[in-house]
Chain A
Amino acid sequence: NAGVTQTPKFRVLKTGQSMTLLCAQDMNHEYMYWYRQDPGMGLRLIHYSVGEGTTAKGEVPDGYNVSRLKKQNFLLGLESAAPSQTSVYFCASITGSEQYFGPGTRLTVT
């Protein structure tokens, strides 16, 4: 049981490049979330999913897209990266009152 894993752990992009962050969980959780965390700020919700095939916008969805084709995976895409998207990205899955976070992806956009 690996819990929540994120790929990659680190990435440097140039402005305008695209990439996909992968979140995987092996706990059969329905709900999954993508957050970003910037210095001095709490985690802010980007997008979330309440089940396979569903996605919804969070607090800061602009510039990101997501997909949940399989229950265990939640993908976060950046179509055209901007320096403002430099951040640490955390994925989480939740069931009931149990909440699990991945180790984070540190993304730098130059």
Chain B
Amino acid sequence: RKEVEQDPGPFNVPEGATVAFNCTYSNSASQSFFWYRQDCRKEPKLLMSVYSSGNEDGRFTAQLNRASQYISLLIRDSKLSDSATYLCVVNIGYGNKLVFGAGTILRVKS
């Protein structure tokens, strides 16, 4: 079983749609959680951290369920510029090591 699993997609959605991505992780000792965005052939960039209480940044909302070892990202009012690959990332603690999911591809179409 992979340490971090994501639905690879692609998710093809029209502009203005709401789309949700899910992620599960296997290491119950994982300490912190993130969503990264990666554009084609570029480096990953931090989109947002994920907290148990849930957090929101504009059109983006992230949720963490530690009991179910489940992370989600909700994007509202999708824009063309949201098209990218979204990586679920877990910090497993020792050495501040990050474990990456394979990514979910989002394509927003006009």
Contacts and interface: CB of A to CB of B under 8 A. Distances in A.
A51 to B, nearest CB: 10
Interface residues of B, number: 21
Given A102-B43, A103-B42, 13 more contacts: A41-B102, A42-B101, A48-B95, A50-B95, A56-B95, A88-B41, A90-B43, A97-B32, A98-B46, A99-B46, A99-B98, A104-B41, A104-B42
B81 to A, nearest CB: 20
Interface string A65-99: 00000000000000000000000101010100111
Nearest to A90: B43
List of 8 A-B pairs having minimum Cβ-Cβ separation, nearest first: A42-B100, A101-B43, A43-B100, A42-B102, A31-B96, A42-B101, A94-B96, A41-B102
B47 to A, nearest CB: 11
A104 B44 CA distance: 10
A104 to B, nearest CB: 6
Interface residues of A, number: 24
A90 B44 contact: yes
A48 B45 CA distance: 19
A45 B98 contact: yes
B95 to A, nearest CB: 6
Contacts of A35: 100
Interface of A: 31, 33, 35, 40-45, 48, 50, 56, 58, 88, 90, 92, 94, 97-99, 101-104
B87 A42 contact: yes
Contacts of A99: 34, 46, 98
Nearest to B100: A42
19 contacts: A31-B96, A33-B97, A42-B4, A42-B99, A43-B87, A43-B98, A45-B97, A48-B95, A48-B97, A58-B97, A88-B41, A94-B98, A97-B49, A98-B46, A99-B98, A101-B43, A101-B45, A103-B42, A104-B41
